[in-house]
Chains A and B, each alone.
Chain A
């Protein structure tokens, strides 16, 4: 493990290329995300948002360029990065035959989190009582998403990578999620999530990065787009 990037930097990508089946899903991305930042990644389908998240989660190998996550060089030590990062992809990563509580407890046991954290995470996401005892297969789409989020909360990861976390959630759950994301950044975690929808971002989102064709096309600080906020970096 190397610590070539200062602790203040959670993600540092330098002309990062990820090829999937010979196709460059990320075609030279350069960006830097500071510790404790809340960042929205925007872009059309196939723009490379999910690939960027999976790269940062240590689940995809770097084809070319440089990538450092929480001080870990992904080119050499991406196994080490995985335990520091919590990833919630398009799918929820749940076992259909386990109850909501058992799914969260399994993740907690894998990362060594205490059982109290399981209950508090479930309660925080509004999954308690009968719902917690229900098999994931029988939960609604929103309940499954919330269970997956509870699994993420229980991990206490230093970097949260969320692929369209608002999808399938009702209005109340979206607000609760935004609140959880803000709390996570206040406690020192860095949160990066993808979205198609500008309005779904929490109001306090300080920064929005737009990907097009596997490259960063805009990087805007501030709560919204088109409000006269100067781009931070546009390669």
Chain B
């Protein structure tokens, strides 16, 4: 567990220094939210689609966060050095996923608040509990899948375009689940709270499945085994 914290703390310290999240990811995600609103240009439509738009923006932002997470590992071959420090590379995987999770959860919080301001989304007490749970499970899933696919493309040419190409289809179910559950939390009339919790449970299962797969697959992928 200590190695996981050490890796996550290192990634977050680097993020604190480079301010990639603040300088690149947050402006990009906010821009996506604003552009969606401009493109839809219909208040009822925007309100109805707000949950999906928020998670779409988070999904795109995930690509930037994950790319940065592995850019720092490959630019001077630091990943080899880290892997040679542990007999359990899955700890490196979970450490990097944890750092990504912290960043994405902060971003999701900001974007939900922006959704309230920009799109007029509303959340009551019960909805807030559901919303926070959705944000936790969905960003955990995004982080675990993102980190897994991040290491898949880390040593490849054209990794910037390969990452979304490979991971977005896999993340589609998570997008659907997170959007539907968030819709319920926002008090949409098309989906009730119990359905929202069911989607959230599905998100948790998704995160566990990909977390387990990542724990097993990270080492051979990180080492470039053939």
Contacts and interface: CB of A to CB of B under 8 A. Distances in A.
Is chain B a partner of chain A in the same complex? Answer: yes
Contact of A61 (B14, B80, B83, B225): B225
User: Which label, helix, strand, loop or mixed, suits the secondary structure of the B interface?
Assistant: helix
Interface in A14-39: 19-21
Given A20-B226, A109-B6, A110-B86, A79 B219 contact: yes
Contacts, number: 85
Interface string A91-109: 1111111100010001101
A83 B84 CA distance: 6
A112 B219 CA distance: 21
Task: Assign chain B's interface to a size class.
Answer: 20 to 34
A61 B88 CA distance: 16
A62 B3 CA distance: 27
Interface stretch (B25-33, B69-77, B152-160): B69-77
A80 B87 CA distance: 5
Contacts of B13: 97-98, 102
A233 to B, nearest CB: 28
A58 interface: yes
A21 B85 contact: no
B10 interface: yes
Interface in B177-226: 219, 223, 225-226
Nearest to A109: B6
Contact of B82 (A110, A135, A136): A110
Contact of B77 (A61, A89, A96): A89
Contact of A60 (B10, B17, B223): B223
Given A95-B10, A98-B14, A109-B6, A57 B76 contact: no
A193 to B, nearest CB: 16
B218 to A, nearest CB: 12
Interface of A: 19-21, 57-61, 79-80, 82-83, 85-87, 89-98, 102, 106-107, 109-112, 135-136, 151, 155
28 contacts: A19-B226, A59-B84, A79-B87, A79-B89, A79-B219, A80-B87, A82-B83, A82-B87, A83-B84, A85-B84, A87-B84, A89-B80, A90-B77, A91-B76, A91-B77, A91-B80, A93-B78, A95-B10, A97-B13, A97-B14, A97-B18, A98-B10, A98-B13, A98-B14, A107-B81, A109-B2, A110-B85, A112-B2
Given A79-B89, A110-B82, 16 more contacts: A58-B84, A59-B83, A79-B87, A79-B219, A80-B87, A83-B86, A87-B81, A91-B76, A93-B80, A96-B72, A96-B76, A97-B17, A97-B72, A98-B10, A98-B13, A98-B17
